[in-house]
Amino acid sequence: MSKTIAILAPGAMGAAVARRLTENGVRVLTSLKGRSEATLKRAADAGMVGADDDAIAEADIILSIVPPGEAVALAERLSALIAPRGKKPVVVDCNAVNVDTVQRIATIIGSAQAPFVDGGIIGFPPQPGGKSPAFYMSGEHASDVVVLKEFGLDVRIVAGPVGAASALKMSYAGIVKGLAGIGSAMVVAATKAGAADALRDELALSQPAVLARLEVALPDMLPKAYRWVAEMREISGFLGPDHPASQIYEGFARWFEHLADDVKGEAVDAALLKAFAAGIAQKNPDRQPIIHASPAEIESGNP
């Protein structure tokens, strides 16, 4: 295959993946029309090439890496671009969407007669010299993108149809980000009730692994909370409206929405979370360093 891959869009994850691919000799295209100066710089730093729609539609593989709320609209745009062409790219949806959503996306891409792969990314954006996040792929055409291993990506095939990779992503994110949601909500509540020190001390005694996770996860989640809102709703949809736990994730969506607004505003609760995390080290200055969870365990999600 020719080494031309399109990534839409050049967000934090998309640009980092592009950098990994370009480091391995791949020509990476993206759409830069109407993007901010910060995005243009991020794309340039990653070695991405701005391209028009025709060039993107001619790529060998198109990776969709956007916020989950934008995944269907992007699929509709790509389908319209690809439909009139004889040579079809493999389209991979790498977004944090539920099984129903990815199957809808597969139908949209299938209407353009293009091969489709269900993908899920678990892990932080790849850094120079660091590991790639795991790209889980499923569906009839998953083997068509195993070639990405040759270009520095950790591609793992999930046995099963379209939906299997997204089910894994939903389940994993539901656990990891659900823990962040529970922890942050209880830390804020405890702090406002005057029990932050007592909570920190008890966790240090009885749940040191949980405390270690919170030390990293609380400040890490704040700038990402806005991206997690739609993802929590996708997880709620993954469980289904009749599942007793689906409302838990709708609640997390509302909580992360609140935190995102708080970060942009007076940052009252954000300050409480940062203070609690900072207090973990201050409370135990002579301790052995906490071994933090791995990037895959404190997964940041899709962009």
42-68 pLDDT, tens digit each: 999 999 999 999 999 999 999 999 999
How many domains does the chain contain in total?
A: 2
Amino acid 264 reads K
Q: Do 215 and 191 lie in a common domain?
A: yes
Measured CA to CA, the distance from residue 211 to residue 208 in angstroms comes to 5
Q: What is the pLDDT of residue 45?
A: 96
Is 293 inside a domain boundary?
no
Beta bridge partners of 90: 61
Q: Do 156 and 239 lie in a common domain?
A: no
Is 278 inside a domain boundary?
yes
Q: What is the pLDDT of residue 65?
A: 98
Query: Where a domain ends, among 160, 184, 214?
Result: 160
Q: Do 211 and 104 lie in a common domain?
A: no
Q: What is the pLDDT of residue 282?
A: 83
Is 290 inside a domain boundary?
no
Is 303 inside a domain boundary?
no
Q: Do 144 and 19 lie in a common domain?
A: yes
- Number of C-beta neighbours around residue 60 at 10 A: 19
Q: Do 143 and 206 lie in a common domain?
A: no
Q: What is the pLDDT of residue 288?
A: 52
Per the confidence metrics, is the pTM higher than 0.85? yes
Residue 94: CATH number of its domain: 3.40.50.720
For helices 99-110 and 225-239, the axis angle rounded to 10 degrees is 90
Is 288 inside a domain boundary?
no
Q: What is the pLDDT of residue 3?
A: 85
Q: Do 175 and 211 lie in a common domain?
A: yes
Is 291 inside a domain boundary?
no
What's the domain range around 53? 4-160
Low-confidence ranges of the chain (pLDDT < 50): 1, 289-303
Measured CA to CA, the distance from residue 50 to residue 28 in angstroms comes to 9
Is 302 inside a domain boundary?
no
